[in-house]
Amino acid sequence: MPDAPVRNVSTGAVRGVTADGIDRFLGIPYAAPPFQERRFEPPQPAAAWEGERDASAFGPTAPQAPYGGGLEDYLPTVEIPGDDILTANVWTPGGTGLPVLVFVHGGALTRGSAALAAYDGRTFARHGVVYVSVQYRLGQEGFAVLPEVPQNLGVLDVEAALRWVRAEIAAFGGDPANVTVMGHSAGANVLAAALALPHAKELFDQAILQSGPLVAQPPKKAARMTLEVANRLGVPASRDGFSHETPAKLVETQTAIAAGGSPLGGGPTVALAVGGDAVPTSPLDALLAGASRGIPVLIGSTSEEYRLWFVPSGALDKIRRATLTIARLAAGVPARVVKAHRRRRPDATPGEVLGEIVGDMLLRGPLTRFADSRIAADAGTWVYEFRWRSPVGGLGAAHGMELGFVFDAIETPDAIALAGADAPQRLADAMHSAWVSFVKSGDPGWQAWSARRPVQAFDADGGHIDYAPRADELEGLPTR
């Protein structure tokens, strides 16, 4: 490959590939493989190598199981064997001093990888952005709550990746002083934890948080999955006990436990745990108290997040009015909130009303409180809501539906599985250009958050501003 592009980082030279004027470097280690003697340890520096390292293919993916319960029809899984899972991938158009965008994938902290076709960085690179995607430990490898094991190892991985970007991205034409992070779902949850840290500005300069929780669980609650895994395997819930089990066995056991739950059952999940260096306090509490008010933030959700959680499993149609009432009372949601939802959608089923309330409690309510806390901040906050409704399988404007539009990749199989083959290109043009604008200038092109609560509503028309939408639905929601 005599014409293959080569770049030098501190650990050695990497040889990538070029296509359509974009250089791509894949599977670059930002930390050492977190297995054997480094298992359940914080990320360690990657070893140097001799000669040119082949960077033409993605590195191994974190141990995980494919989606099930109907989600496999909409959410793909890529599995690449190997231990070298802490890697970064770079797309660059060439040049110097270019803005940088770092993407952290979602997947409920148990699934996902940077190798998914939907996360290809060519569309950002062709607009003059150096795009980076990173991988991190998932499941029990990254988020087990065990004595003598640092909590939230997966978050520490992402921090290490961001420090790698600061140190190495100039070799790919990026400006290390102009780094925007972007996370979706669990990836946004991880980045919210990073945003809440006192040293967040050491890691990045701007943040995009898409449909991500802003909270972490108390250690006792976060440990429920770890304890149940230990119980089923008959091993101590300790570093020694888990180290004697293979990563595949931990994944298998964790997946079986999760499959026995339901969207409403409140069973054990993998979650960020409050405590330790990575998540010293609840991210939302720290952010509401003023953390990172000097960092510009673009944040939002889809209008029907719940449909990805409730529709494929069949749960939506099983929810009756009595279920809605019981769930409302258990969560401390006032009856007026239900009435507000019914005023906007008088034909909504009990499952749809409950789904919207769940989405508001998990995502829309906290992000609105977060944005309100930054009205007088030094840096701006921009809020969006994705409203375009997919015709596929009753998904509507479900969780994850915006990704194909943000990446301007609605023609990819991953996007078609969610949005169908006739998704509006006009909407993709609008969203992608807004994200590029934010990365380049710190402004996506609509009104920053203020007391009027402007929300950029993305629909087939390409987007328009709504002021304080859903205010009556959000008023009175419990904040814990």
**What is the tens place of the pLDDT at every residue in 85-94?**
999 999 999 9
Residue 61 has pLDDT above 50, yes or no: yes
- Mean pLDDT, rounded, for 336-349: 93
Please say whether the beta carbons of 12 and 49 come within 8 A: yes
Residues 6+ apart with CB under 8 A from 329: none
More confident residue, 221 or 261: 221
Q: Which fold has domain 1-217+270-294?
A: Rossmann fold (3.40.50)
> Which of the residues 305, 352, 402, 473 is marked catalytic?
305
DSSP letters, 411-446, are TSHHHHHHH-TT--HHHHHHHHHHHHHHHHHS--SS
Give me the pLDDT at residue 1, please. 44
Q: Which long-range contacts (CB under 8 A, 24 or more apart) does 41-45 make?
A: 41/150, 41/153, 42/150, 42/153, 42/156, 43/86, 43/153, 43/156, 43/157, 43/160
CA distance 459 to 441: 24
By three-state DSSP, how is residue 83 classified?
coil
pLDDT tens readout for residues 163-194: 999 999 999 999 999 999 999 999 999 999 99
Beta strands in 248-392 (DSSP E): 297-302, 381-386
Picking from 452, 435, 396, 440, the residue whose alpha carbon sits closest to that of residue 419 is 396
**Reported pTM:** 0.97
How many percent of the chain have pLDDT more than 70? 98
Give me the pLDDT at residue 265, please. 59
Give me the pLDDT at residue 262, please. 58
Ranges for all domains in the chain classified under CATH 3.40.50.1820: 1-217+270-294, 296-480
Residue 299 has pLDDT above 50, yes or no: yes
305 is catalytic: yes
Picking from 103, 260, 258, the residue whose alpha carbon sits closest to that of residue 179 is 103
> Which of the residues 105, 341, 399, 432 is marked catalytic?
399
Give me the pLDDT at residue 303, please. 97
Picking from 213, 190, 216, the residue whose alpha carbon sits closest to that of residue 203 is 190
Let me know how many helices (H) and strands (E) the chain has, helices first: 19, 14
Residue 246 has pLDDT above 80, yes or no: yes
Q: What are phi and psi of 308, to 5 degrees?
A: -70, -30
Alpha-carbon distances, residue 186 vs 52, 93, 324 (angstroms): 34, 29, 26
Residue 261 has pLDDT above 70, yes or no: no
Please say whether the beta carbons of 117 and 412 come within 8 A: yes
Give me the pLDDT at residue 476, please. 83
Residue 226 has pLDDT above 80, yes or no: yes
CA distance 229 to 154: 18
Residue 264 has pLDDT above 60, yes or no: no
Query: Is domain 296-480 classified as CATH 3.40.190.10?
Result: no
Residue 128 burial (CB count, 10 A): 16
By three-state DSSP, how is residue 449 classified?
coil
Specify the range with the lowest mean pLDDT, choosing from 201-210, 260-269, 377-386, 397-406.
260-269
pLDDT tens readout for residues 139-165: 999 999 999 999 999 999 999 999 999
pLDDT tens readout for residues 424-434: 999 999 999 99
Q: State the burial class of residue 42 (Cβ atoms within 10 Å of its Cβ: 0-12, 13-18, 19+).
A: middle
pLDDT band at 462 (very low <50, low <70, confident <90, very high): confident
Residue 277 has pLDDT above 60, yes or no: yes
Picking from 20, 139, 70, the residue whose alpha carbon sits closest to that of residue 312 is 70
CA distance 125 to 131: 6
Beta strands in 346-416 (DSSP E): 381-386
Q: What are phi and psi of 301, to 5 degrees?
A: -150, 175
pLDDT tens readout for residues 249-258: 999 999 999 9
Give me the pLDDT at residue 365, please. 96
127 is catalytic: no
Q: Any idea what the Cα angle at residue 179 is, between residues 177 and 180, rounded to 5°?
A: 150
> Which of the residues 113, 185, 282, 301 is marked catalytic?
185
| Averaged pLDDT of the chain | 95
- Mean pLDDT, rounded, for 466-479: 91
52 is catalytic: no
